[in-house]
Amino acid sequence: DAGVIQSPRHEVTEMGQEVTLRCKPISGHDYLFWYRQTMMRGLELLIYFNNNVPIDDSGMPEDRFSAKMPNASFSTLKIQPSEPRDSAVYFCASSLWDREGLPDTQYFGPGTRLTVL
Amino acid sequence: AQSVAQPEDQVNVAEGNPLTVKCTYSVSGNPYLFWYVQYPNRGLQFLLKYITGDNLVKGSYGFEAEFNKSQTSFHLKKPSALVSDSALYFCAVRASNDYKLSFGAGTTVTVRA
């Protein structure tokens, strides 16, 4: 099993540019999560999907952030326009559902380290 | 609301000594508890979880954790630490009827040779 795949691993961009982060979840997993990790705020849940449908995006910091999951094997997180305060490591995670239909153990990708200059 | 506290930012132990990383939680209802480890420039790796049943849970790499309902704790333990255990450890909790997993701030473990 290849695990959760994220690309790119590193992204350096200039303020104002559009940034697109990509995620391929583990095959067969029903849930997909996007997290952001910073020293100041730790791990924050941005949005999650169930069966490709966005369920809760209350963690998305601003309208500049958007996420899509066009099919079961691909999701994107887009920031437009990017700002220096968006610099962080962005993780994607996926999980099966448990017997209550809720997320089981989440498995994380290696992350994308985003630097906005 | 649910939350996790990892009271120690750092834990330092000598190789071969027991390792304990502390975690306490607050959640409405029954807790589902998890431990993850993060090595530098890597994603979080799942170590173990408690859902129900035996309070002592065994996981990957020789780690175990003990669920204590009265103390609302879920401390991670390893009887004999290795230098390779040096990493950042996260405790996480969610309520049994909720989707959201809440993470602690993390504890940096350093095992010296």
pLDDT tens across the length of chain A (117 residues) = 689 999 999 999 999 999 999 999 999 999 999 999 999 999 999 999 999 999 999 999 889 999 999 999 999 999 999 999 999 999 999 999 887 878 889 999 999 999 999
pLDDT at B1: 80
Which of A48, A103, A108 is opposite residue B43, by nearest beta carbon?
A108
* Chain A closest-CA separation from residue B3 CA (Å): 13
B101 near A CB under 8 A: yes
Q: Count residue pairs from A and B with Cβ separation < 8 A.
A: 44
- In A, minimum Cα distance to B101 occurs at A45
For residue A7, list its beta bridge partners: A22
- Give the closest-approach CA distance of B42 to chain A in angstroms: 5
Instruction: Report d(CA A42, CA B20) in Å as an integer.
Output: 21
**Whole-number Cα distances in Å, A6 to A23, A45, A67, A108:** 5, 17, 14, 10
- Give the best residue of A10, A31, A41, A43 to mutate against chain B (max B CB count within 10 A): A43
Using alpha carbons, list the distances in angstroms from residue A63 to A75, A83, B26, B87, B106.
18, 13, 31, 35, 29
- Classify burial at A95, counting beta carbons within 10 Å of its beta carbon; exposed 0-12, middle 13-18, buried 19 or more: buried
**pLDDT tens per residue, range B5-18:** 999 999 999 999 99
